[in-house]
Amino acid sequence: MSSEAEIKSINDDIIRRFAIIESRLKDCSGITAFFETLLEGAEQQFKIPFVWLSLINEEKNNSLIAKIKASPKLRERLNLVERNLWENLVVQSAKPLLVNSNLKPYFKLFPDGKKYFIKSMALVPLQINGDIIGCWVNADARQERYQPAMHTDILQNFAEFVSRRLSEFS
């Protein structure tokens, strides 16, 4: 198989896995079930060992944060950060950020009391009605899992679906 054919095959598999998660997310009737399904789907479909939410701690997100904290499945997977920290780490962009070096500053995005042995992260910004509210974080102990040079188009498309769906709940 040629390199181009291998890449197409890998991308087709990634698209198929995201489609499975997307179909499950379409069936969710509330924000809590939505986030539970998103995190569980990412873990199951992509075998991601560490998955959580890092949300910007500001008044406009209070209702969302309260709903997440009410879920036993989500409260341990939630990190709250101030906007200035968010902007310094992730930047105000809707594009996913992949990091696999100089990770120490990103440890501030870990849920309280959690320490993960990670060597790479994918930070996927989440939006509601066009406003970035935080990110969905995927992390792995393998440094090669998420590399800055990787294309994020498929992940970006999925993140846009997630953000559109989140906006429907607001």
Per-residue pLDDT of the chain (170 residues; tens, 9 = 90+): 468 888 888 889 999 999 999 999 999 999 999 999 999 999 999 999 999 999 999 999 999 999 999 999 999 999 999 999 988 888 667 899 999 999 999 999 999 888 889 999 999 999 999 999 999 999 999 999 999 988 899 999 999 999 999 999 88
Q: Say if residue 101 is exposed, middle or buried (CB neighbours under 10 Å; 0-12, 13-18, 19+).
A: exposed
- Judge whether 95 and 125 are in contact, CB under 8 Å: yes
Q: What is the pTM of this model?
A: 0.93
Tokens of 6: 């291998």
DSSP string, 144-162: TSS-TTS--HHHHHHHHHH
Sign of the CA dihedral 132, 138, 139, 142? negative
Task: Give the structural domain span for 78.
Answer: 3-169
CATH classification at residue 71: 3.30.450.40
Tally of domains in the chain: 1
Q: Directed axis angle between helix 62-69 and helix 31-46, to 10°?
A: 60
Q: Directed axis angle between helix 3-26 and helix 31-46, to 10°?
A: 150
